[in-house]
Amino acid sequence: MANKTTADGENALRKLGERLREGATNSRAVSEKSLQTVKDGISEQCRQDRQASRDKSLEPEPSKERDRKPPEIDRDR
Amino acid sequence: MDDLIKLVKTYRVTAGEPERLRLGDQVFRMIERDLRLFVFGLVKPEAAEDVLQESLKDMAMALGTFRGATVQQFWAWCYRIVRHKIGDHRRKQASGRLEDLPHEEFWQLVEASTKTTPLTPADRHDLEYALSLLDKAKPECREYLWQHFVFGMDYAEIAVEEKITYDTARMRIGRCLEEAQSLVA
């Protein structure tokens, strides 16, 4: 292994990455467990988004709150 | 790879759950194997599956918030989430040290790669050399070499993650490679 340059090292490591990814693509099916985890995550996020949207619609609109005038004081009294 | 970023961008502008589930399934079918490999190279096998599943869930929940425009940015975003999960996992462990690389599994993948790309003796020699560099590197260095050279994360991404400058990342990774090479020679 002597007389290896830095470029040799870089090249060997990059080659390893390419080989491992190619091997994984050729030999492995995508895990069903992983796909189920993804499905659960997306559904959970959709639920949270719907809940946030519902909560928002129940809040009083800030602009209406701002525009509401205070009750007038009856100065003649 | 163009398909991947198109799917991610479509997901971003899609609101309905059934459509999001369909798109999400397609996106993760394209990236799961690489992410699995990335995690299994850095976390011991008995914990790696949990780290991977937690990462996938976080990614799935946050996919609609990804704002990048390129596939490189998308991969950087994915690896960032996985790295955070690995960091969380390490903090929970009494020992944060890296385990031995799963050589047998790696060679099985290399063997599988020969279905599409023949392996010359020179290639095999290079792969043996690469594995010996990773074996000999210090834990911190192995992570750098794994991320930068094996998985193609660029210096800028690593610098952001490590909260160091671009030049510091570049120099550290260069030093790590030189050190590992001196130990293998």
Report, as an integer, the average pLDDT of B8-26: 96
Q: Do B28 and A30 touch (CB under 8 A)?
A: yes
* pLDDT at residue A60, as a whole number: 74
* pLDDT at residue A72, as a whole number: 61
Q: Above pLDDT 70, what percent of chain B?
A: 96
Q: Give the residue from B151, B3, B163, B168 showing the smallest Cα distance to B11.
A: B3
Using one digit for the tens of pLDDT, what is the confidence trace for A4-16? Answer: 899 999 999 999 9
* pLDDT at residue B162, as a whole number: 87
Asked whether residue A71 is assigned to any structural domain, the reply reads no
| Residue A71 pLDDT > 80 | no
| Residue B170 pLDDT > 80 | yes
Report, as an integer, the average pLDDT of B114-128: 96
* pLDDT at residue B182, as a whole number: 95
* pLDDT at residue B24, as a whole number: 97
Residue B45 or residue A73, greater confidence? B45
The whole domain housing A21 covers 17-56
Minimum mean pLDDT range among A51-65, B107-121, B125-139: A51-65
Q: Residue B177: how many CB atoms within 10 A of its CB?
A: 22
Task: Report the Cα B112 to chain-centroid distance in Å.
Answer: 19
Q: Do A9 and B177 touch (CB under 8 A)?
A: yes
Interface subset of B 140-159, CB within 8 angstroms of A: 145, 149-152
Q: Give the residue from B109, B132, B53 showing the smallest Cα distance to B86.
A: B53
Residue in chain B nearest A23 by alpha carbon: B113
Asked whether residue A10 is assigned to any structural domain, the reply reads no
Residue in chain A nearest B149 by alpha carbon: A14
Asked whether residue A75 is assigned to any structural domain, the reply reads no
Sort out which chain A residues have CB atoms less than 8 A from B111's CB and list them: 23
**Distance to chain B for A55, nearest Cα, Å:** 18
Question: Is the CB of B50 inside 8 Å of chain A's CB atoms?
Answer: no
Q: Give the residue from A17, A57, A12, A22 showing the smallest Cα distance to B114.
A: A22
ipTM: 0.85
Sort out which chain A residues have CB atoms less than 8 A from B21's CB and list them: 39, 42-43
Closest in A11, A23, A37 to B56, CB measured: A37
| Residue A75 pLDDT > 70 | no
Q: Do B24 and A28 touch (CB under 8 A)?
A: no
Minimum mean pLDDT range among A9-18, B122-131, B157-166: B157-166
| Residue A77 pLDDT > 50 | no
Q: Does domain B102-185 have CATH number 1.10.10.10?
A: yes
Mean per-residue pLDDT of chain B: 92
Distance CA B134, CA B100 (A): 9
CATH of domain B1-95: 1.10.1740.10
Which one of A21, A30, A38 makes the best mutation probe of the B interface by having the most chain B beta carbons within 10 Å?
A: A38
Q: Do A23 and B33 touch (CB under 8 A)?
A: no
Report, as an integer, the average pLDDT of B151-158: 91
Report, as an integer, the average pLDDT of A13-37: 94
Please answer whether residues B16 and B59 qualify as being in contact, where contact means their C-beta atoms are separated by less than 8 angstroms.
no
Q: Give the residue from B36, B45, B163 showing the smallest Cα distance to B98.
A: B45
CA distances to A30, A31, B55, B128 from A38, in Å: 12, 11, 10, 35
Structure confidence at residue A65 as a pLDDT band (50, 70, 90):
low
For the record, the structure tokens of B6 come out as 């198109």
Using one digit for the tens of pLDDT, what is the confidence trace for B55-113? Answer: 999 999 999 999 999 999 999 999 999 999 998 888 887 655 666 788 888 999 999 99
Q: List the domain boundaries for chain B.
A: 1-95, 102-185
Sort out which chain A residues have CB atoms less than 8 A from B115's CB and list them: 26-27
Q: Taking the complete model, does pTM exceed 0.90, yes or no?
A: no
Please answer whether residues B159 and B129 qualify as being in contact, where contact means their C-beta atoms are separated by less than 8 angstroms.
no
Distance CA B125, CA B119 (A): 10
* pLDDT at residue A49, as a whole number: 92
Q: What is the largest CA-CA distance in chain A?
A: 103
The domain tally of chain A equals: 1
Sort out which chain B residues have CB atoms less than 8 A from A19's CB and list them: 109-110, 113, 117, 119, 123, 127
**Distance to chain B for A36, nearest Cα, Å:** 9
